[in-house]
Amino acid sequence: MLQKAISEISEIVGSANILVEGPELNIQLQNTSHFIAPQVPALVRPANDQELDSIIQICRESSLPVYTFSKGLNWGLGSRLPLEDGCILLDLSRLNRILEINPKFHYAIVEPGVSQGELSAEIRRLGLNLMLNVTGSSPNSSVLANMLERGSGFLAHRLDDMRGLEVLLADGSKMRSGFWNDAHSEREALHFSPGFGPDWTGIFSQSNLGIVTKAVVNLYPKLELQKMLWCKVEQSRLPELVEAIGELYQRKYISSVTHIGNDKRMKIEHRGADKVQTWTSFGSMVQGTAEYVEFLEKEIPRVVGNRCLSLGFYNQQESEEAGLGAVFGCSTGVPTDYFIKAMYMSEDMDPDGQNLQIDHGPLGMLCCLPVLPLQASAITDTLEILDSIYRDFGIMPATTLNPMNDLCLESVINIYFRRNDPEAVANAHAANKEMTKRFYEAGFRFYRFDVKLMHEYINPENPHWKFVSRLKKALDPDRILSPGRYEPKVS
Ligand SMILES: Cc1cc2nc3c(=O)[nH]c(=O)nc-3n(C[C@H](O)[C@H](O)[C@H](O)COP(=O)(O)OP(=O)(O)OC[C@H]3O[C@@H](n4cnc5c(N)ncnc54)[C@H](O)[C@@H]3O)c2cc1C
């Protein structure tokens, strides 16, 4: 049955676009986190919607599960790995058309394989005064997948970019959200995302209920002048600085995401007995007319008060002179490899070109991703957990705590390790597992999980997860779409 299905799929996509078990497929299963891969019979790369529809039909008829990804750079969380044995990897990177960029209503319609580098370049090629909300990940990562996964961008939460979805269901039917589903009117359909009736887009984000084949992605108008706020703070004053940043959001002085990195993240080692640990805040943009920006340059330091060791505002040229040009670029819609290189540099390793696909590089990486309430006590407790990991495992996690608005911070807490040292691998995995547990026991919750820890934090008896199981049964009774991902384990 499996072999028959694989040869039918091979006929659809052509032999160059399918990998079956062997060395080439094994390379695709390598992942920077050094997780052991489940058994995967094949990887397939359809070229268009018709090929995708036919593959899903074959899988449905032979009860063969697929595990969908768009570009597969889900680094630190499992990359391209499914949760269960026996899934065909469904790689959508060849569905890579930018179908529309609408300047007036500031959105783009893209397929899963469109990378943030490609969409950003196209916006600039067209000379539009618009910005894509890029992430700190590779320019090759997927605009659509990162949004579905609720990634964190520089301008906003990526979920805020979601203006519409086109979804293929397991039964082969396809639908579009909101007014996009009813394209009979000549008028604009994407100016009001929920449309009329239940808005189902949310159930396809962090979900295995369908395959998203197109997305309408919000773009952000770029105003006359932009400057990036940065500051440096001693660790002891970080909790109160975070509260002050919350006030900046409440006053609407800043609206983009602030990134606050520890010394490890910023590649500064200050851990001597006499030296204080510092955190560096960057990325939050102020923008508008020259007069308005000038007002903010006076007003923001007043709100922040004397909490920082230093504070300033950089325009593009000043950012470049300070070695922060790539960060300024991210804050204005231009993705970069800078943060991947920084990861290697923080471990004194060479980020050569090949290593930028970190699944095949020598440096390993794990992620712990709690979303913190924006309050000083949450920051104090977070710092204590990080220090406890350093004490107990000898690892200082590379951390950014990222206020997104006046309510929450998304944290990105990474553990790096040498992949060629089995003891280092085991220690890193134990530290990440324990750190996640310590955050959980301290009452914090997480916005993303890796494929190995996800099920430890899904309680099948919880009414939320019971509802998810009911949706799965209704929409995908044979469990052919990414089984196990974002759903309780089925025994
Ligand atoms: C140095 C560094 C910096 C990083 N910075 C950031 C950052 O700033 N913000 C951030 O969010 N992440 C960041 N990451 C993590 C990660 O690399 C990104 O989240 C990346 O965007 C995920 O890979 P991808 O876009 O290729 O998604 P994919 O791997 O293609 O997809 C991710 C998951 O989404 C689901 N999915 C994908 N496509 C579909 C579809 N069409 N239909 C249904 N489900 C689908 C699948 O479950 C899949 O496993 C960083 C990583 C590193 C190493």
The answer to whether residue 244 sits within a structural domain is yes
- Reading the block at residue 344, the tokens are 């290697």
Q: What is the pTM of this model?
A: 0.96
DSSP 354: G
Check whether residue 331 and residue 238 sit in a common domain: yes
Atom 12 of ligand 1 has which residue's CA nearest to it? 151
Pocket test for ligand 1, best of 32, 35, 70 (most atoms within 8 A of CB): 70
In angstroms, what is the span from residue 68 Cα to ligand 1's centroid?
Answer: 12
Counting beta carbons within 10 angstroms of the beta carbon of residue 236, is it exposed (0 to 12), middle (13 to 18) or buried (19 or more)? exposed
How is 298-338 classified by DSSP, letter by letter? Answer: HHHHHHHTT--SEEEEE-HHHHHHTT-HHHHHHHTT---SH
Extract the tokens encoding 373: 């309430």
**Rounded to the nearest whole angstrom, what is the distance from the C-alpha of residue 5 to the centroid of ligand 1?**
29
Evaluate whether 397 touches 414 at the Cβ level (below 8 Å): yes
| Residue 129 falls inside a structural domain | yes
Q: What is the CATH number of the domain that holds 416?
A: 3.40.462.10
pLDDT one digit per residue (tens) for the chain, 491 residues: 899 999 999 999 999 999 999 999 999 999 999 999 999 999 999 999 999 999 999 999 999 999 999 999 999 999 999 999 999 999 999 999 999 999 999 999 999 999 999 999 999 999 999 999 999 999 999 999 999 999 999 999 999 999 999 999 999 999 999 999 987 778 899 999 999 999 999 999 999 999 999 999 999 999 999 999 999 999 999 999 999 999 999 999 998 999 999 987 776 554 555 567 899 998 889 999 999 999 999 999 999 999 999 999 999 999 999 888 999 999 999 999 999 998 998 888 887 777 789 999 999 999 999 999 999 999 999 999 999 999 999 999 999 999 999 999 999 999 999 999 999 999 999 999 999 999 999 999 999 999 999 999 999 999 999 999 999 999 999 999 999 999 999 87
Question: What sign does the dihedral 88-488-366-399 (CA atoms) show?
Answer: positive
Q: Select from 173, 193, 221 the last residue of a domain.
A: 221
Is the beta carbon of 411 within 6 A of some atom in ligand 1? Answer: no
Å from CA of 151 to ligand 1 middle: 7
Task: Say if residue 194 is in the same domain as residue 270.
Answer: no
- Which is nearest to 216 in space by CA: 94, 339, 107? 107
Q: Judge if 174 and 259 occupy the same domain.
A: no
Q: Is 70 in the pocket of ligand 1 (CB under 6 A)?
A: yes
Please indicate, yes or no, whether residues 236 and 148 belong to a single structural domain of this protein. Answer: no
User: φ, ψ for residue 348 (rounded to 5)?
Assistant: 55, 40
Distance CA 258, CA 230 (A): 9
Distance 161 CA to ligand 1 centre (A): 15
Q: How many domains does the chain have?
A: 2
The Cα 36–Cα 53 span in angstroms is 30
Closest ligand 1 atom, residue 32 Cα: 53
Indicate whether 273 and 374 sit together in one domain: yes
Cα(172) to ligand 1 centroid in Å equals: 25
Residues 153 and 125 in one domain: yes
For residue 482, the ligand 1 atom closest to its alpha carbon is 47
Say if 374 falls within a structural domain. Answer: yes
The residue out of 221, 238, 273 marking a domain boundary is: 221
In a domain, 352, yes or no: yes
230 and 133, same structural domain? no
Q: Which of 30, 68, 487 to mutate to test the pocket of ligand 1 (most atoms within 8 A of CB)?
A: 68
**Are 196 and 338 found together in one domain?**
no
H helices of 80-165, in order, are: 116-125, 143-148
Residue 119 domain boundaries? 98-221
Q: Is there a single domain that holds both residue 132 and residue 236?
A: no
What separation in Å is there between the alpha carbon of 445 and the centre of ligand 1? 20
Q: Which of 171, 180, 2, 20 is nearest to 89 (CA)?
A: 20
Which atom of ligand 1 lies at the shortest distance from residue 486's CA?
47
